Each structure stands twice: as C-alpha cells, then as structure tokens.
Amino acid sequence: MLARRVIACLDVKDGRVVKGTRFVNLRDAGDPVELATVYDREGADEVVFLDITASHEGRGIMEDVVRRTAEALTIPFTVGGGLATADDLRHMLRAGADKVGVNTAAVQRPELIREGAERFGSQCIVVAVDAKRTGPSWEVYTHGGRRPTGVDAVEWSVRGAALGAGEILLTSMDQDGREDGFDLRLVRAVTRAVRIPVIASGGAGEPRHFVEAVTESDADAVLAASVFHYRTHSIAAVKAAMAAAGIPVRPAGRGEPAAAEGA
C-alpha cells in the first residue's frame, strides 16, 4: 500500500488564513506563510492553499501571497481559487504551485480540466468538489460554497477523472469545521467510483477521524485545517495514530518516524 498523505489546508481571505464552520462564521487563523512553514517542518506531506473568495468576488488569486508561500515550502503545494483559464493555471504553476485546483470554472466549463491536463499533465490538475447532502446523494456547490449547481457530486467526480484530473479534493460542506469526523459515506461513494486519488476533507477533529477516512472509506489522503491551525492536534499525532492502525505514512517530522503515542 502506498503511503497515505496528511495535508494541511490554508483557506485564505484577504491574505490571511481563516476558518469557519460549514463555510461561514470565518475567524482569523494566522499568516499563510508562517503556517505553511510550520506545517512543512512538522511533517505535513502537502499544503493546499485555497483563495476562498476569489471566484465569488470575480477576481484572480493573490499571486504575491502564493509566491511567498511557495518559496517557504519544501513539500508539494496546491493552489486553487478563482482559476478560470488554462493561462490562469500556468500562471500559478509559474508562481510556485506544484498542482492547481479547479472548482467553479470547471463546473461552468468542464473542458478546462482537459485543457489543463493536456498542457501541464494530469498530475498537476486537482478537481475540488464542494459537496452538500441532498437526500440520499450529494450536490456540488460552487463560488466558495455559495451556489448550488444541481450537479451530483459523485457523477461530477467521475466526469472530472475522465476529463484528465489527477486527483479529487472532496470536501463535505455538511461536516466542514464541525470536527466530529469526515462524511465517510461521501468519501466511500467517490473512492469506489473513480480510479484516481481522493483527498478527504471536512470534519476532522480527532486523530481517529483520519484513520477512519482511510480504513473505512479508502481515502488516499486526509486534509484538515482547524485541528492543525488551533493546535488541537499535531500532524505528528495524526500520523502516529495512522501508523498505529497499520496505515503507511511518511515520517512525521524532519527525520522523525511516525510512531504510536506512548510507544
């Protein structure tokens, strides 16, 4: 089994990292460059930077903040928010991103996924899916979780993969910021439907939640924000819990192996 990744997410608004619950009631969580540096040092496998109001405000992403964050990192860096054209994707890759995330613009014009994959390689293209439960299924929302689309989240994930996406960043809007666990049914529905990596996002509050996303829903990676930003749990603690459950993970810090707490 390949090592499962633990990813720290930076939701950025007006140049500051913020976090709320179910995409609202945002509060300040710090400077993106400083937080990225901390997560790199603590053993995060990747950092995801999302400009959460760019699409809603109809503007481009904050390149200066992206560039400064990229310069501070030694681990893979994904950037998303307000990227509407293949040239936008190229711009962010040149600014230091290793991967680019597309959401709103891709739902509006799915060919953006294919264009990005053909120009830069599938490994660079992440389709971000913000999903909210509607009865027995989940609906895709765009514009930072503000607009329902009527599009089924599982079907959209399948289409994104077919168009050339390298992975799916799957966020449960219902669980976002609640810290009582990922939507395991949602994650499982998508991992069973696609053959590309799926990143579980939205709801992590305890190390066991990360374990469950892998063991019960087969997530290839687990992503969190609040639990790391506010130091509820460390990346090392999460990786220790995963390692104790038999999940292969990369070292938890600079040269320090992940081990079960109390070992």
Catalytic residues: 11, 130
Residue 111: CB partners within 8 Å, gap ≥ 6?
Answer: 163
Residue 232: CB partners within 8 Å, gap ≥ 6?
Answer: 179, 205, 226
CA–CA separation, 176 vs 230, rounded Å?
Answer: 15
Instruction: Kindly provide the residue ranges of all beta strands, DSSP E only, lying in the chain, ordered along the sequence.
Output: 5-13, 16-21, 24-30, 46-51, 77-80, 99-102, 125-134, 137-142, 147-152, 167-172, 198-201, 221-224
147-152 and 99-102 as β-strands: parallel, antiparallel, unpaired? unpaired
User: What are 133's two structure tokens?
Assistant: 């439960």
Q: What are phi and psi of 94, to 5 degrees?
A: -70, -25
Could you give the residue ranges of the DSSP H alpha helices within 99-249?
Answer: 104-108, 111-120, 153-162, 184-193, 207-215, 226-229, 235-244
CA–CA separation, 134 vs 111, rounded Å?
Answer: 26
Amino acid at 218: D
Residue 126: CB partners within 8 Å, gap ≥ 6?
Answer: 78, 80, 99, 100, 101, 102, 165, 166, 167, 168, 169, 199
The torsion angle over the Cα atoms of residues 56, 61, 65 and 68, rounded to 10 degrees, is 150
